[in-house]
């Protein structure tokens, strides 16, 4: 079931992100970037975002298996599926559901890890950008889709 995020989900939300950063995204990004991203990954930071975006979770048997959010201006963020359950359609379901809540051009900054997934789901590469966290740079792909 896909439902809206509740405050009590904040820890599970962070845990899925943490697990992905350590087990999946670490294959494509240097350790120092992963470490900096992990430092920001705190429930209090997630709770600060509630008012600025739509946040959804994929829940099964009371466990949160995936997360996604969409800002008011149409940016997809925080799409993460538990690593052991990836490639089973959960990411696609989360993306399709959140797309339905928006009319216009959706955009996102895809990690190298997720670029092919977004292409399969109709997103077009616009250009590559260099993002920065605490002065450390890393590559992301700016992608868009009209919905």
Ligand X SMILES: CC(C)(COP(=O)(O)OP(=O)(O)OC[C@H]1O[C@@H](n2cnc3c(N)ncnc32)[C@H](O)[C@@H]1OP(=O)(O)O)[C@@H](O)C(=O)NCCC(=O)NCCS
> Which residues here bind ligand X, judged by CB under 6 A?
20, 24-25, 79-81, 86-92, 110-111, 113-114, 116-117, 120
Q: Shortest approach of ligand X to residue 62 CB, angstroms?
A: 19
What is the nearest approach in angstroms of ligand X to the Cβ of residue 43? 19
User: Which of 11, 75 has the CB closer to ligand X?
Assistant: 75
For ligand X, which is the closer residue by CB, 48 or 96? 96
In the bound complex, what is the minimum distance in angstroms from residue 44's beta carbon to ligand X?
21
Sheet containing strand 105-110, edge to edge, reads: 105-110, 136-146, 124-133
Distance CA(136)–CA(79), nearest Å, equals 22
Backbone angles phi, psi at 100, to 5 degrees: -65, -20
Helix crossing, 10-23 with 31-40: angle to 10°?
A: 180
């Amino acid at each position: 079931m896909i439902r809206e995020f509740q405050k009590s989900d904040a820890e599970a939300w962070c845990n899925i992100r943490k697990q992905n950063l350590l087990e999946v995204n670490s294959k494509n990004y240097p350790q120092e970037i992963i470490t900096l991203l992990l430092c920001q990954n705190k429930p209090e930071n997630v709770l600060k975002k509630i008012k600025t975006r739509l946040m959804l979770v994929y829940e099964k048997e009371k466990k949160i298996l995936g997360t996604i959010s969409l800002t008011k201006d149409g940016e997809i963020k925080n799409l993460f599926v538990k690593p052991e359950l990836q490639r089973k359609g959960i990411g696609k379901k989360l993306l399709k559901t959140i797309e339905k809540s928006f009319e216009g051009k959706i955009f996102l900054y895809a990690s190298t890890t997720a670029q092919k997934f977004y292409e399969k789901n109709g997103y077009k590469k616009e250009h590559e950008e260099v993002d920065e966290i605490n002065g450390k740079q890393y590559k992301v792909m700016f992608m868009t889709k009209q919905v």
